[in-house]
Chains A and B, each alone.
Chain A
Amino acid sequence: MTPENKFNKNVLYVLNKIKERSLYTKTGALLEYWVLFDFLDGSGETPLPKDEIAILEKLEEWGAIKIKMSAWEYE
Chain B
Amino acid sequence: MSNKLFRIEVIQAEFDQLYNKYNDAFDVQTSGKVHILYYMSDGLLYSLWKYAYAQRLSRKSLLSLFDLVPLEGVEMFTIFYFIERLKELDVEIEGIHFSEKIYKSYCPHEHKALVEYIEKKPDDIFSKSLNNLFRNKATFEDINGIFGAEEILPNNLKFNLKGLIEFTEFSPNPSDKNLQPVRHYIENYIKAFIEDLLSSHELNNFYKFDRQKEIFLNNIKHDVNDYGLRFVFRQGKEVCVPKRTMVSIGEDKGYLFIHTLVALETLHLYQVGDIMIVDMDTPPEKQTNDYKIKIYGTEKLQREIDSIKFDNLVQDNKSRRPIPSIANDPPIHKIEIVSGRLKVDGLKESLDKISHTKKETDKPKFPYKLPAGTTWEAITMKFENNENIYIQVKQYKHTASYKELGLVGRGKNPNPSELWAFLKVLSQVNGELTIKDTQAKDKYKKQKELLAKALQSYFSLDYDPFYPYHSSTEKQGNSYKIKITLIPLQSNNSKCTTAAEEDDDLGVEEYLKEQAPQVNEE
Q: A residues engaging B (CB < 8 A)?
A: 1, 4-5, 8-9, 11-12, 15-16, 18-19, 22, 30-38, 49, 53, 56, 59, 62-75
Query: Contact string, B20-50, partner A, CB cutoff 8 A, digits 1/0?
Result: 0011001000000111101000000000000
User: 25 A–B contact pairs at CB < 8 A?
Assistant: A4-B38, A9-B34, A9-B35, A18-B10, A18-B15, A30-B7, A31-B7, A31-B8, A32-B8, A33-B7, A35-B6, A37-B3, A49-B4, A62-B14, A64-B14, A64-B15, A64-B19, A67-B7, A69-B6, A69-B7, A70-B6, A70-B7, A72-B3, A72-B4, A73-B4
The smallest beta-carbon distance between B2 and chain A, in angstroms, is 5
Interfacial chain A residues near B33, Cβ < 8 Å: 1
Q: For the complex, would chain A's binding face be called helix, strand, loop or mixed by DSSP majority?
A: mixed
Question: Does B26 contact A12, Cβ atoms closer than 8 Å?
Answer: yes
Q: Taking CB as reference atom, which chain A residue is nearest B1?
A: A38
Apart from A9-B34, A72-B5, 18 more pairs, CB < 8 Å: A1-B35, A4-B201, A5-B35, A16-B23, A18-B10, A30-B8, A31-B9, A33-B8, A35-B4, A35-B6, A37-B2, A38-B3, A62-B14, A66-B8, A70-B4, A72-B2, A72-B3, A74-B2
Question: Does A73 contact B18, Cβ atoms closer than 8 Å?
Answer: no
CA distance A27 to B225 in the complex (A): 57
B11 at the interface (CB under 8 A from A): yes
CA distance A31 to B2 in the complex (A): 20
Partner of B2, one of A18, A38, A65: A38
The smallest beta-carbon distance between A27 and chain B, in angstroms, is 11
Chain A-chain B contacts (Cβ-Cβ < 8 Å), number: 113
Interfacial chain B residues near A63, Cβ < 8 Å: 11, 14
Q: B residues engaging A (CB < 8 A)?
A: 1-11, 14-15, 17-19, 22-23, 26, 33-36, 38, 201
Question: Does B36 contact A68, Cβ atoms closer than 8 Å?
Answer: no
Question: Does B1 contact A75, Cβ atoms closer than 8 Å?
Answer: yes
The smallest beta-carbon distance between B407 and chain A, in angstroms, is 56
The smallest beta-carbon distance between A33 and chain B, in angstroms, is 4
CA distance A67 to B5 in the complex (A): 10
Question: Does B4 contact A15, Cβ atoms closer than 8 Å?
Answer: no
CA distance A36 to B201 in the complex (A): 32
Question: Contacts A12-B26, A73-B3 given: A5-B10 contact, CB under 8 Å?
Answer: no
Partner of A32, one of B7, B36, B201: B7
The smallest beta-carbon distance between A12 and chain B, in angstroms, is 5
Interfacial chain A residues near B23, Cβ < 8 Å: 12, 15-16
CA distance A66 to B7 in the complex (A): 9
Interfacial chain A residues near B8, Cβ < 8 Å: 18, 30-33, 56, 65-68
The smallest beta-carbon distance between A15 and chain B, in angstroms, is 5
